[in-house]
Amino acid sequence: MDAAERRDMLKNVQEADFVVVELTLYTNTHPNDQEALTQWRLAIKEAARLRKMYEKRFGPLSLHSIPSEQAIDTGWRWNQAPWPWQM
Protein backbone atom coordinates (compact mmCIF):
# COMPACT_ATOMS: atom_id res chain seq x y z
CA MET A 1 0.00 0.00 0.00
CA ASP A 2 1.43 3.33 -1.09
CA ALA A 3 0.13 5.40 1.85
CA ALA A 4 1.50 2.97 4.43
CA GLU A 5 4.85 2.80 2.67
CA ARG A 6 4.97 6.58 2.51
CA ARG A 7 4.25 6.83 6.22
CA ASP A 8 6.99 4.31 7.06
CA MET A 9 9.58 5.99 4.86
CA LEU A 10 8.66 9.40 6.28
CA LYS A 11 9.02 8.01 9.78
CA ASN A 12 12.57 6.94 8.91
CA VAL A 13 13.32 10.51 7.84
CA GLN A 14 11.69 11.91 10.98
CA GLU A 15 13.78 9.62 13.19
CA ALA A 16 17.03 10.43 11.42
CA ASP A 17 16.34 14.17 11.40
CA PHE A 18 15.51 14.03 15.09
CA VAL A 19 18.91 12.52 15.86
CA VAL A 20 20.45 15.54 14.11
CA VAL A 21 18.28 17.97 16.12
CA GLU A 22 19.26 16.28 19.38
CA LEU A 23 22.99 16.09 18.62
CA THR A 24 23.02 19.71 17.43
CA LEU A 25 21.60 20.87 20.75
CA TYR A 26 24.10 18.69 22.62
CA THR A 27 27.14 19.88 20.68
CA ASN A 28 26.03 23.51 21.16
CA THR A 29 26.91 23.17 24.85
CA HIS A 30 29.63 20.48 24.43
CA PRO A 31 31.72 21.91 21.57
CA ASN A 32 34.82 19.85 22.51
CA ASP A 33 33.16 16.44 22.74
CA GLN A 34 34.90 14.76 19.80
CA GLU A 35 32.81 11.60 19.94
CA ALA A 36 29.58 13.63 19.84
CA LEU A 37 30.89 15.67 16.93
CA THR A 38 31.65 12.48 15.01
CA GLN A 39 28.17 11.13 15.75
CA TRP A 40 26.65 14.45 14.72
CA ARG A 41 28.46 14.38 11.38
CA LEU A 42 27.41 10.79 10.70
CA ALA A 43 23.82 11.56 11.75
CA ILE A 44 23.60 14.35 9.17
CA LYS A 45 24.94 11.95 6.55
CA GLU A 46 22.41 9.24 7.46
CA ALA A 47 19.53 11.74 7.52
CA ALA A 48 20.50 12.93 4.04
CA ARG A 49 20.55 9.32 2.78
CA LEU A 50 17.08 8.50 4.12
CA ARG A 51 15.68 11.81 2.90
CA LYS A 52 16.95 11.09 -0.58
CA MET A 53 15.23 7.68 -0.57
CA TYR A 54 11.92 9.23 0.48
CA GLU A 55 12.11 12.16 -1.91
CA LYS A 56 12.92 9.91 -4.86
CA ARG A 57 9.51 8.27 -4.38
CA PHE A 58 7.34 11.06 -3.02
CA GLY A 59 8.97 14.34 -4.00
CA PRO A 60 10.97 16.99 -2.08
CA LEU A 61 10.27 17.64 1.62
CA SER A 62 11.81 21.10 1.30
CA LEU A 63 13.04 23.25 -1.54
CA HIS A 64 16.63 22.45 -0.60
CA SER A 65 16.14 19.26 -2.60
CA ILE A 66 15.98 19.31 -6.37
CA PRO A 67 12.72 17.96 -7.79
CA SER A 68 13.42 15.40 -10.54
CA GLU A 69 12.16 16.16 -14.04
CA GLN A 70 10.23 12.91 -13.83
CA ALA A 71 8.44 14.09 -10.67
CA ILE A 72 7.28 17.27 -12.38
CA ASP A 73 6.33 15.34 -15.54
CA THR A 74 4.20 12.95 -13.53
CA GLY A 75 2.39 15.79 -11.76
CA TRP A 76 4.26 16.35 -8.50
CA ARG A 77 3.90 19.93 -7.27
CA TRP A 78 5.08 21.59 -4.06
CA ASN A 79 1.61 23.02 -3.47
CA GLN A 80 0.05 19.62 -3.21
CA ALA A 81 -1.76 17.78 -0.43
CA PRO A 82 -1.25 16.06 1.87
CA TRP A 83 0.35 18.67 4.11
CA PRO A 84 1.71 17.35 7.39
CA TRP A 85 -1.47 18.13 9.36
CA GLN A 86 -3.56 16.31 6.73
CA MET A 87 -1.65 13.02 6.80
Partner 1 sequence: MWVYEKKLLYPVEVKECNPKLARYIAEQYGGADGELAAALRYMNQRYTVPDKVIGVLNDIATEEFSHLEMLATMIYKLTKDATPEQLEEAGLGAHYVNHGHALFYENAAGVPFTTTYFQAKGDPIADLYEDIAAEEKARATYQWIIDISDDAWINDSLKFLRERENVHSLRFREAVEVLKEERDRKKIF
Q: Which residues contribute to the site for partner 1 (CB under 8 A)?
A: 10-11, 13-14, 17-18, 21-22, 24-26, 28-30, 60-64, 83-85
- State in angstroms the smallest separation of the CB of 74 from partner 1: 18
Contact 68, 52 (CB under 8 A): no
61: nearest Cα among 73, 78, 86, 49? 78
| 28 SS3 class | helix
- State in angstroms the smallest separation of the CB of 28 from partner 1: 4
Residue closer to partner 1, measured from CB, 15 or 42: 15
Question: d(Cα 16, Cα 21) in Å, to the nearest integer?
Answer: 9
Residue closer to partner 1, measured from CB, 25 or 42: 25
